[in-house]
Amino acid sequence: MWAFCSRLAYTALCALLFTVPAVAGFSGLTMIPTADVLASGELSVSLSGTSAPSGENESFFLNTQYGFSDRFEAGIDIDISKDADPRLYANAKYLLQGETDRWPALAVGFWGLAEDTDISLYLVGTRSFDALRAHAGLWHTDGQLDFMLGLDYAATDQITLLVDYISGDGNFASAGIDYQFTDNFGILGSALFPNAGGAVRYTIYLYGGGLIRW
């Protein structure tokens, strides 16, 4: 675990030399997307690292996301793990409707568009209950349709607690905590629990971004 954290810290230092400090963080929880979409002109950059069981390589991603409008965001995720192939993945999300008094926000999107890979498609809804938000949707990849659930709770202006789950033996449940250092920078740490059992994994996200004026 210490070796994993050391490698993440070194990679984070290198990555943060060319990232833009940011306003919003993720348009999702630890694993699942939410119906949140970046504001028009907003850029988000994050570095993530996930531990692996003994004998497997840890994974590291440099993620970029840009709000092309108030309803549409897209980005490129760069796999900087050892021996990764492919290394570049595209993703996008479109907000079908914003949240109203009667209906949750709804969004559709995809992740993992790359050469010789199976793209993942999803539909997700988000509903707010003051400081608590609930998320539910469907995730389709590799010919399998799974459901996903999540909650996030803003305990303070800086601390958010979150849990999420994707069904299927190859997927996980997670529990994490997000800490916002400033409006422009934060960190998220989570534990991942395999649905099929086995070793718990740990993931850390360092994220930032901001409004870009062209």
Q: What is the pLDDT of residues 46-78, one digit of tens each?
A: 998 888 776 677 888 899 999 999 999 999 998
Look up the pTM and report it: 0.84
* Cβ-based neighbours of 116, under 8 Å, separated by 6 or more: 86
What single-letter DSSP state applies at residue 9? H
Tens-place pLDDT, residues 97-118:
999 999 999 999 999 888 777 8
Mean pLDDT lowest for which of 73-87, 93-107, 122-136, 143-157? 73-87
Cα 7 to Cα 60, 94, 202, 204: the distances in Å are 10, 34, 14, 12
Whole-number average pLDDT of the chain: 85
Are the beta carbons of 163 and 149 closer than 8 angstroms?
Answer: no
Label residue 124 exposed, middle or buried (CB < 10 Å: 0-12, 13-18, 19+): buried
Are the beta carbons of 106 and 93 closer than 8 angstroms?
Answer: no
Q: Which domains does the chain have, with CATH numbers?
A: 2-211 (2.40.160.40)
